[in-house]
Chain A
Amino acid sequence: MTTTPSAITVQSVSKSFGRGDAAVRVLQDVSVEIGAREFFTLLGPSGCGKTTLLRLIAGFEDLDSGAILIEGARIDHLAPFQRPVNTVFQSYALFPHLTVAQNVAFALEMQNLSAAEVRRRAGEALEMVRMGAFASRKPSELSGGQQQRVALARALAPRPKVLLLDEPLSALDLKLRKEMQIELKQLQTEAGITFVFVTHDQEEALTLSDRIAVMQGGRILQLDTPRAIYERPAHRFVADFIGEINLLDGQVSGPGKVRLDCGAEIAAPADQAAGARVTVAIRPERASLAQGGALPAEVTHAAYLGTATILQLRLANGAPFLLRAATANLPEIGAHVTLSLPPEALQVFAA
């Protein structure tokens, strides 16, 4: 990724809405480099600024400060229709008065291609999303998933350098969403263009992305591969937002030791001074039941998932603890057990 030129460079971008005392800072000094042909995801809860960043790249909002470059050229002063990017909108925004084919041909006609070329490339784009048979339908005659495909074809037809996708799958039901995730990934690989994908669905982000920027409060908290973000979250917020995790509050009691609020003392990679309040994080699948483990707990509930069982446990101070365990040799509900927390599976955050 370092050798190819950046498809998109976002430099110290800030953006506020409203004026004076009512102004809300939506983006605060955000910088990011997105590589060519990368599937890049902006992930965060609603209001974190991810959609605003996407709209700034598309040109629907103006920057307060900073710069946005595409392949090294500044584009932040250009109108949306002058930027080499296309957008797939959350609402799809298909033109209701035009047919599917006319929708897909729209940008091609704007590029002054010959009528034959427009027809050929619109046809290709529709075939790419397997919607060729629907060319003469109106958008209102299509299902949500079909509209989604047409919106993709319309945005891909002019062969943009960058495709911006604003929560494109959020309106689909779960099964269709899973199917479209796979198709989206295939399309991105085949078309060989950069995708900037906005979502609040962490599972979707983990499945699809080459890299993820986790955003909160107008800043990027962590930018890394899905695996690094899942396994080595840099912030308590990131740990909590991505996947299931146990967050245990405690106090550093000595070098590499933390006294949890439930009373147990565990070995943990804490570099804070003794006495500092910390939160220790561990994924449910990284802890294990072990005789003589450091953390005593009581089993309160068990959910059988087939490949594994999720045990709900209660610690001595009443705090809950989730454990993903193999289905063999499970303890009874109400049994008192001890858990082993391998230090390399623990993350320690300053409280």
Chain B
Amino acid sequence: MNLRRLPLTREISLAVLVYLYVPVVVLIVYSFNANRTATVWSETSLDWYRKILVNPSIRDATWNSLVLATAAGIGATLLALAAALGMKSRFRGKGLVEAVLNAPLILPEIVVAVATLMLFVAIGIDMGLTAMIPAHIAFCIPFAYLPIRARLQGMNPSLEEAAQDLYANRFVTFRRVTLPLLWPGIMAGFTLAFVTSLDDFLTSFFLSGPGSTTLPVYIFSAIRAGITPEINAISTVMLIVSVALVVTSFLLGKMRR
């Protein structure tokens, strides 16, 4: 059956696209609005972008977000790589381990965030980056794991055998053959974990302490004081960075095997 022949296919598709992207388009457009009130258009201007560049709170929050996302991305990627390599072998309960690894994708984040907060308070860990980094690593693992696992599954198992057959021990085989071949998957995994951490609000909101506000948390608190085009500008920047990173990750994943 040809879907295009059905009546209204084109109209419905357009409506869905509008439904999905109109808010984002409005946000971007109003980030170029000179008017102080975010919802009233006066004239085009880059003022708000200039303002966010010099706003010290935004600069600090950006720095915190980048530090957190980098740490979470690296930590999650290393753990995900180890998990993916471990999942190559066959063992009892493998399905269960796979499910546990991917559980953060479906667990309600609010529950995990509250649980983590309670745990950290109970064992006396101060709120701030030291609390946020391990929590972010935990929920970023599946995002790093999936591309690495996919890459590993697509790898010809004879390649590692060939390296060992050609006198490379396990370590050299890993360094000279496995790791270079997994590299695009590792980079894709890191990028996804990075973006996921960068974008996180809930966990950061619960675990951030004084001086460790991240961008999403800053945006949330700024909005409570009133919506300004500054928020539009900073959101637009975040959107562009995230999309660029996800596209990069997608292209890396598609790289020639």
- Candidates A59, A85, A87; contact of B162 at CB < 8 Å: A87
Cβ of A110 and Cβ of B180 under 8 Å apart?
no
Chain B residues in 8 Å Cβ range of A93: 156, 158-159, 161-162
A60 to B160, CA, bound (A): 10
Residue of A nearest to B257 (CB): A96
Q: Is the C-beta of A58 less than 8 angstroms from some C-beta in chain B?
A: yes
Least Cβ–Cβ distance between B179 and chain A, in angstroms: 10
What are 24 contact pairs spanning A and B, CB under 8 A? A60-B165, A80-B165, A81-B166, A81-B167, A85-B165, A86-B165, A86-B166, A87-B161, A87-B162, A87-B165, A89-B162, A93-B159, A94-B162, A95-B159, A95-B162, A95-B163, A97-B181, A106-B166, A107-B166, A110-B166, A110-B167, A111-B167, A140-B256, A158-B167
A290 to B256, CA, bound (A): 65
Chain A residues in 8 Å Cβ range of B162: 87, 89, 93-95
- Candidates A58, A60, A81, A155; contact of B168 at CB < 8 Å: A81
Chain B residues in 8 Å Cβ range of A24: none
Chain B residues in 8 Å Cβ range of A274: none
Chain A residues in 8 Å Cβ range of B242: none
Contact pattern, B 156-199, Cβ under 8 Å of A = 1, otherwise 0: 10110111111111001000110011000000000000000000
Q: Is the C-beta of A154 less than 8 angstroms from some C-beta in chain B?
A: yes
Chain A residues in 8 Å Cβ range of B176: 106
Least Cβ–Cβ distance between B253 and chain A, in angstroms: 16
* Contact-size category for B: 10 to 19
Known: A96-B256, A97-B180. A79 touches B158 (CB 8 A): no
Q: Is the C-beta of A91 less than 8 angstroms from some C-beta in chain B?
A: yes
Chain A residues in 8 Å Cβ range of B161: 58, 60, 80, 87, 89, 93
Residue of B nearest to A104 (CB): B166
Cβ of B158 and Cβ of A91 under 8 Å apart?
yes
Cβ of B166 and Cβ of A96 under 8 Å apart?
no
Residue of B nearest to A140 (CB): B256
Residue of A nearest to B181 (CB): A97
B interface, CB within 8 angstroms of A = 156, 158-159, 161-169, 172, 176-177, 180-181, 256-257
A residues 90-105 near B (Cβ < 8 Å) are 90-91, 93-97
Least Cβ–Cβ distance between B203 and chain A, in angstroms: 37
Residue of B nearest to A105 (CB): B166
Cβ of B163 and Cβ of A106 under 8 Å apart?
yes
Given A86-B166, A93-B159, output 15 extra A-B contacts at Cβ < 8 Å: A60-B161, A81-B167, A89-B158, A89-B161, A89-B162, A94-B162, A95-B159, A95-B177, A96-B181, A96-B257, A97-B180, A107-B167, A110-B167, A140-B256, A158-B167
Least Cβ–Cβ distance between B178 and chain A, in angstroms: 11
Cβ of A91 and Cβ of B165 under 8 Å apart?
no
Chain A residues in 8 Å Cβ range of B256: 96, 140
Chain B residues in 8 Å Cβ range of A91: 156, 158
Chain B residues in 8 Å Cβ range of A110: 166-168, 172
Cβ of A154 and Cβ of B166 under 8 Å apart?
yes
Residue of B nearest to A91 (CB): B158
A224 to B68, CA, bound (A): 69
Chain A residues in 8 Å Cβ range of B159: 93, 95-96
Least Cβ–Cβ distance between B18 and chain A, in angstroms: 43
Q: Which of B166, B256, B257 has the most chain A CB within a 10 Å cutoff?
A: B166
A residues 27-72 near B (Cβ < 8 Å) are 58-60
Q: Which of B156, B161, B162, B257 has the most chain A CB within a 10 Å cutoff?
A: B162
Residue of A nearest to B159 (CB): A93
A59 to B170, CA, bound (A): 13
Least Cβ–Cβ distance between B74 and chain A, in angstroms: 23
A-B pairs with the 10 shortest C-beta distances?
Answer: A107-B166, A93-B158, A110-B167, A93-B162, A80-B164, A87-B165, A89-B158, A81-B167, A97-B180, A81-B164
Least Cβ–Cβ distance between B161 and chain A, in angstroms: 5
Residue of A nearest to B180 (CB): A97
A98 to B25, CA, bound (A): 45
Residue of A nearest to B256 (CB): A140
Least Cβ–Cβ distance between B162 and chain A, in angstroms: 4
Chain B residues in 8 Å Cβ range of A87: 161-162, 165
Chain B residues in 8 Å Cβ range of A90: 158
Residue of A nearest to B172 (CB): A110
Chain B residues in 8 Å Cβ range of A158: 166-167
Chain B residues in 8 Å Cβ range of A111: 167
Residue of B nearest to A83 (CB): B165
A94 to B166, CA, bound (A): 11
Chain B residues in 8 Å Cβ range of A89: 158, 161-162
Chain B residues in 8 Å Cβ range of A79: 164, 169
Contact pattern, A 294-331, Cβ under 8 Å of B = 1, otherwise 0: 00000000000000000000000000000000000000
